[in-house]
Each structure stands twice: as C-alpha cells, then as structure tokens.
Amino acid sequence: MNTTTVSSNARPTLPEQSTAEPTAPFLRACRGLATTYTPVWLMRQAGRYMPEYRAIRAQHTMLDVIRTPELAAQVTLQPIDIFGFDAAIIFSDILPPLISMGLDLEFVKGEGPCIHNPIARAYDIDRLATPPAEESMAPTLQAIALVANELTPRGVPLIGFAGAPFTLASYAIEGGGSKTFAKTKALMYREPAAWKRLMNKLVTVQADYLVKQAKAGAAALQIFDSWAGQALGQQDYLRYVQPYNQALFAAVKRGTDVPVINFSTGTSSYLPDVVACGGDVIGVDWHMPLDWCWQQIGHATPIQGNLDPITLMAPWRELQYRIDDVLNRASGKPGHIFNLGHGILPETPTDNVKRLVDYIHTRQNVQEGHL
C-alpha cells in the first residue's frame, strides 16, 4: 500500500478554478467539457469496506477521526493511493455542523448517528446557534488544506461537502435515521414559521461551511439531500424544501466559483424541480436509467451517477454489464461523471472496486464527445 504522510503545516496550492479551462478529467466533466475517459469516484469511497480504514477505526471513534485533521487526511487519501479514483472527497460526515449549533451528536456502533437532544418544539429551534465554520468545523477545514496540498500537485481534485437543509433538519428532529419522518413532517406542518426559521439557520451554517471548504482547498463541492425525496412528494418538496435549497446554492455560488454537485435520492419523479434548486452537476440515484434522468435534467447540465451500489458485490460478468450499461446510456456525451447511485456499502469487495476503476479508465470510449 502507498501510505502518504501529511504535515499539519502544509499549505494548499489553489485548486483549479473556472476562470481557466481545467485539465483534471473530473473537473472538466463538471464543466461539461470533453474528456478522454469517463472520470470516476464513489460516494463513501473512504470507509468501512477498506481494511486500512477499519484499522484506523479500531483505535479511534468516528468523531475522533473527523476532529483530527491528520487522521481525516490520511483516510481521505487511502482510496486515491490504492484505487486511483479521479477525485477525492474529504473524510467527514454531514452531521458534525449540528454539534456547534447545540445538538448532542454521537455515532453509536451498530446503530449509526444518534442525537440525544433532538428538536421537538419551536423553542428548541430558536436556541440553535449559527457559528462560523472557522470555529465550528476548523478540523475539517484543516484536513482539506492538508489533502489539497498533497493532491493538487498530483492533479487530483478534492471534493468538499455538506448536507442539504431538509436532510439535516430531519436528523435533528428525528434524533437519527427514520423510515417515516413522522416527527419531521409533523413539526413542518404544525409549525410552519418555526420550520422556516430552522431551515434558514441551516442555510446560513451550511453556506458558510461550503464556501470555507472551497477557500481551504476543495476544488469542487457536493450537497447531499439524502432524505427529502424519501420523505416528501413533489408538492411538499416545492413548498418546504426547494426555496431553502435554492437559497443555499445561490449563497454558495456567490461565495465561490468551484463546481457544485446537487445530489439527492428518491427524487426521480420531480427531477426538474431538483435541477431548479441549482448546482453545476446533478447527481442521481439508481432508480431510473441514466439516459432517462439526463433527459429530465437537460443535456446541457452535467450528470453524476448512477450504478446501484449493490452491484459492486456481484460477479464481475454482471458488474461489467452494469458498468457498460451506465456508460452506454451516457453515449459519450461530455459532462458524465461515473459514480454510484448512493454510498458504497461496507460489505463491498475491494477487488471489485479496483477492477471497476481500472475498467472505466481503460475502456475504449469511442462515442462522440470523448475523443
């Protein structure tokens, strides 16, 4: 294994910006420019499926790794060194910004995130703070600087990320994951003014955090709206989510010119409404074919996706067929970034990950737009 040493005194070289045409395939695809092969990275590519990551987690809690810049940088670099992805994504989680707002977050082994003082009433929302990212998320910003310093000379972009307002609100209200989102929707319907205050606070915190990640060295950003499409139909999405997502994307656009990926799940039935929120790239889940999704989005907008994560556990003959299906549906059009339709699963064989990356990098892309 290639183990990279990172220094806490490292200062990043500025990432590629949109003022000059980028050379990295991932950034070119984010701008809708032609590439010689389809760039690939995977959500949760630094995580439990990797023995190198599990070795670190055997000695440190999730929050310890996130709060220690050198450890977060090391974990971020592991999949780049081992698999050769076209982009790294900083190791963190969408939920730590909630801690500085006043919520008691713990990652419980075998259960996932748990918030011990969830939001239950308007008063709880009014008590939430909106601290600047330099205070609340300093370790992650430092980790970004470390990784950018290592990867920028190698031509590998780093992605920063944050959660969208509804997804964070649902965790904060439910106290963790949910199948019904009953508490979230009840508060949303019962206290619309309080809901507005909550979402505006989350927009403020997340916009500042995303812009500061770009300033620290992130060459691109991704906003995860993992739960809105699982919880809400189109009308509720338009009323209770879209205005705040639009505000978030607009604020990030004002603060930085790095490309921003708008990723959501369960939103296939109203993809144009998701696109209307903003973002330079639209990330889609695996529920609908990529060509159908791109038609809904509009081919002028780059797309990211959309292999079913479970297929990474299939035999190679089936996995290769599924990879080819996604790439063929993209038809070689500029602006496609290969990814999963959601995060990689802990049970995923590392050999399949390596084979996927190598296959995409060496697959003969003769379709229009690639060569």
Average pLDDT over residues 45-72: 96
List the chain domain ranges: 25-362
pLDDT band at 363 (very low <50, low <70, confident <90, very high): confident
Q: Which of 278, 272, 288 shows the shortest CA–CA distance to 247? A: 278
Average pLDDT over residues 150-166: 97
> Which comes out higher in pLDDT, residue 369 or 301?
301
Q: So what's the pLDDT on residue 110?
A: 77
Counting residues of the chain whose pLDDT is more than 90, the rounded percentage is 89
What DSSP state is assigned to residue 176?
A: S
3-state SS record for 35-77 = CCCCCECCCCCCCCCCHHHHHHHCCCCHHHHHHCHHHHHHHHH
Q: So what's the pLDDT on residue 236?
A: 98
**Nearest-angstrom CA–CA distance, 252 and 184:** 26
pLDDT digits (tens, 9 = 90+) for 70-121: 999 999 999 999 999 999 999 999 999 999 999 999 998 878 899 999 999 9
pLDDT band at 364 (very low <50, low <70, confident <90, very high): low
Q: Which residue has the tokens 């294994």?
A: 1
Instruction: Choose the weakest-confidence range: 6-20, 70-84, 216-230, 350-364.
Output: 6-20
Q: So what's the pLDDT on residue 20?
A: 73
Whether the per-residue pLDDT at 351 is higher than 50: the answer is: yes
**Nearest-angstrom CA–CA distance, 157 and 141:** 15
Q: So what's the pLDDT on residue 112?
A: 86
Mean pLDDT of the chain: 93
3-state SS record for 264-307 = ECCCHHHHHHHHCCCCCEEECCCCCCHHHHHHHHCCCCCEEEEE
Average pLDDT over residues 116-138: 97
pLDDT band at 40 (very low <50, low <70, confident <90, very high): very high
What DSSP state is assigned to residue 153?
A: G
Whether the per-residue pLDDT at 4 is higher than 50: the answer is: no
Average pLDDT over residues 123-127: 97
List the catalytic residues: 44, 48, 57, 93, 171
Integer angstrom CA distances of residue 9 from 5, 222, 258, 314, 351: 12, 26, 24, 43, 35
Rounded to two decimals, what is the model's pTM? 0.92
Average pLDDT over residues 246-267: 98
Helix (H) or strand (E) holding 357: helix 350-362
Q: So what's the pLDDT on residue 268?
A: 96
Whether the per-residue pLDDT at 369 is higher than 90: the answer is: no
Average pLDDT over residues 134-143: 97
Counting residues of the chain whose pLDDT is more than 70, the rounded percentage is 93
What DSSP state is assigned to residue 180?
A: S
Fold category of 25-362 in CATH: TIM Barrel (3.20.20)
What DSSP state is assigned to residue 144?
A: H
pLDDT digits (tens, 9 = 90+) for 196-241: 999 999 999 999 999 999 999 999 999 999 999 999 999 999 999 9
> Which comes out higher in pLDDT, residue 20 or 158?
158
**Nearest-angstrom CA–CA distance, 215 and 151:** 16
The answer to whether 118 and 178 have CB atoms below 8 angstroms apart is: no
Type of residue numbered 281: V
